[in-house]
């Protein structure tokens, strides 16, 4: 699958989407995951049982490390293969665990963090996934803190509970213009 070209001319490679492809039925990560975690990792359709794995890996840091050792190299390989095909004024890697993995920081020119306060983050995850507040907070506690994410950011887009869709679009447009200017300077 080729990178997604946004309407503005930037290419987007979403590593979370790649992870979903790799853990779909017949996905390249499934044999390694099944070897490490057994049938408990398998959903009835042959995909990764995300709910079961979430319970395992967010309660056991060693299990999380085993899962990451299987899937992260596959994600990186696929993301870089897609990047080699990308064209446009800039390329965006969407990397949810950028700070935690540390594998991407040296491969990008800039880091952009879309930021919101923790309560807004919890509410959005609950709305999207139906997880309990405790489950969301347990996951968040295993991830980099807001402060750690902001510390590596070159660009920050505020998307808190008070941000309107129009404001978010304006912020994204301004950032796009900055990135196009930076991209053209890097090509010179």
pLDDT digits (tens, 9 = 90+) for 42-85: 999 999 999 999 989 988 989 999 999 999 999 999 999 999 99
Residue 121's CATH number: 3.40.50.300
- For residues 74 and 31, the answer to whether their CB atoms sit within 8 Å is no
Q: Is residue 27 part of a domain?
A: no
Q: Is residue 165 part of a domain?
A: yes
Instruction: Identify the three-state secondary structure at position 162.
Output: coil
Q: Is residue 180 part of a domain?
A: yes
Q: Is residue 127 part of a domain?
A: yes
What CA–CA distance (Å, rounded) separates 41 from 53?
Answer: 6
Measured in degrees and rounded to the nearest 5, phi and psi for residue 30 equal: -65, -40
Rounded percentage of the chain residues whose pLDDT exceeds 90: 61
User: How many domains are there within the chain?
Assistant: 1
Measured in degrees and rounded to the nearest 5, phi and psi for residue 9 equal: 100, 0
Pair of tokens at residue 122: 């919890």
Structural domain that includes position 125: 109-188
Q: Is residue 171 part of a domain?
A: yes
Q: Is residue 162 part of a domain?
A: yes
- For residues 135 and 55, the answer to whether their CB atoms sit within 8 Å is no
Q: Is residue 187 part of a domain?
A: yes
Q: Is residue 3 part of a domain?
A: no
Walking along the chain (188 residues) 10 residues at a time, the average pLDDT comes out as 52 94 98 96 96 90 94 95 88 89 84 93 92 91 92 93 88 88 72
């Amino acid at each position: 699958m080729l990178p997604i070209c946004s309407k503005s001319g930037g290419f987007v490679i979403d590593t979370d989407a790649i992870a979903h492809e790799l853990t779909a039925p017949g996905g390249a990560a499934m044999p390694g995951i099944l070897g490490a975690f057994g049938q408990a990792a398998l959903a009835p359709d042959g995909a990764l049982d995300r709910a079961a794995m979430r319970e395992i890996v967010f309660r056991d840091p060693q299990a999380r490390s085993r899962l990451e050792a299987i899937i992260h190299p596959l994600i990186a390989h696929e993301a870089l293969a897609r990047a080699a095909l990308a064209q446009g004024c800039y390329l965006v890697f969407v990397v949810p665990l950028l700070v935690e993995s540390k594998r991407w920081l040296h491969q990008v020119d800039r880091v952009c963090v879309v930021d919101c306060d923790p309560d807004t983050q919890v509410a959005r995850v609950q709305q999207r996934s139906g997880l309990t507040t405790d489950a969301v907070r347990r996951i968040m506690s295993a991830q980099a803190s807001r402060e750690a994410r902001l510390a590596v950011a070159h660009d920050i887009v505020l998307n808190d509970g008070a941000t309107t869709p129009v404001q978010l679009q304006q912020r994204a447009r301004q950032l796009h213009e900055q990135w196009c200017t930076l991209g053209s300077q890097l090509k010179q």
